[in-house]
Chains A and B, each alone.
Chain A
Amino acid sequence: MSVSRFSYASINVLDLPAAMNHYTNVVGLRLVEKDRNQAYLQAVDNQDHHCVVLNRNTVAGLDHVGFKVSDKSDLAEAAQVAHDWKLKTRKVKKGEVRGQGEGLMITLPSQHNMCLFYEAEKIGYDGGMENPDPVPSQTRLGAKVTHLDHTLLSCQNPAETARFLEEALDFSLTEKIVDPGGNTVAAFMTCGGTMHDLAIGPGPDGTFHHMAFGVESRGEVIEGVDILKETSTPALEYGISRHGVAGVTTIYFHDPSGNRNEFYNGAYQSAGIPGQVPPVVWPLDQFPRGGFYYEQSVPATFFDEVT
């Protein structure tokens, strides 16, 4: 079983034009395709059709996350393991998610939907695919986001979903937060050699905590903050900070429907065979330091408030 990477987040928004404006002019994504009810966007350093899908809806939050598999046969294998775990699945037809081949939608134990798929239509890098511009556009509006990096999903029993990802889909656990009884409260998991593609944290089932967009330097996180301030985009009260988890530079902010976003830089790579690299462990009583390393505390609204 080989899930190769986190490809996209399909999220619900209350005001589609306002969301499109945010994800292009604040976050800095390319608008690929849109109609009355949906928009597809991609970052500059990804060739695939989309990394964010916006769906017009009356509730904010997640519709589903999309992960790419390495081989078409992985879809049948995933269907089998999901069946073994007694999880609900359904086939996704080619084109149901635009720019994408057939897929398998799995409802995780956390009640989030995960679409596994193999084929993505190619739009190419922003700089072009032949004789390209090696330097990303300096005149594009928004932050210098290169890619969608990871997402954090909230649920009542993070350990159970983490176990499914690890044991059934061969994700690796890179870091975890454990309570005094040794139970996993939050799990940071990767399938593509990054520090994490998917984190599972505590909260109401099926809710969306955030998705993070990667930039190439700490300086570009700071430039991102300047854009947030200029556009009056609501941000976490701590402003720019550093996570103890992975030591990354970070700022959280919200899209016009209240879905949380992050600008993010500085994570390590996590090469290694799934299950063979021991995770970094954060005891819960030390988590304020792991959460926000500079402030050594976590704002009350950080885990309480999700969409």
Chain B
Amino acid sequence: MEYTVRLTNPEMEPVEFLCRDDVFVFRAATDAGYILNTACERGGCGACRAKVITGKVHYPRKVSQKWRINPETGRKDFIHLCSVMPKSDVTLETLRPWNPAGVPSLLALVTD
């Protein structure tokens, strides 16, 4: 199945992209041109954390539970975008802003 992932962040205009249910959200975001704030990409450090606003995700691999806990609520409010896959259409609010992918268009350099 393929679902729509909507990313929000207070500092950014929301973006949407498609993500299959067997693809990490981080990977689908990269393919769609959005570079998420990541470091370890293995669920250990928490650089890519987000909150689920609507919808469901699943964790196909183990992640460190330490940074899932929100100090304000004491609950596991955070998910790791590097290590989750969507189970439905989802809206996710990222802790840090993302960057546009920096792939230059070489064709733009060529004049006809």
Contacts and interface: CB of A to CB of B under 8 A. Distances in A.
B interface secondary structure, majority: loop
B94 to A, nearest CB: 14
A15 B66 contact: no
Contacts of A234: 38-42
Interface string B1-38: 00000000000000000000000000000000000011
Interface residues of A, number: 22
A257 B42 contact: yes
A300 B63 CA distance: 22
A19 B39 CA distance: 18
A14 B47 contact: no
A61 B42 CA distance: 13
Nearest to A12: B64
A307 B44 contact: yes
Size category, B interface? 10 to 19
A276 interface: no
A254 interface: yes
Contacts of A305: 39-40, 45-47
A62 to B, nearest CB: 11
Interface string A42-78: 0000000000000000111100000000000000000
A150 interface: no
Contacts, number: 74
B65 interface: yes
A256 B42 contact: yes
Given A60-B44, A304-B47, A307-B45, A258 B64 contact: yes
A58 B64 contact: yes
A88 B42 CA distance: 33
A200 interface: no
Contact of B42 (A58, A254, A301, A304): A254
B43 interface: yes
27 contacts: A14-B43, A14-B61, A14-B63, A58-B64, A59-B64, A59-B66, A60-B43, A61-B64, A234-B38, A234-B42, A254-B39, A254-B42, A254-B44, A255-B42, A257-B43, A257-B44, A258-B40, A258-B41, A258-B43, A258-B64, A259-B40, A301-B45, A304-B39, A305-B40, A307-B40, A307-B44, A307-B45
Interface of B: 37-47, 61-66
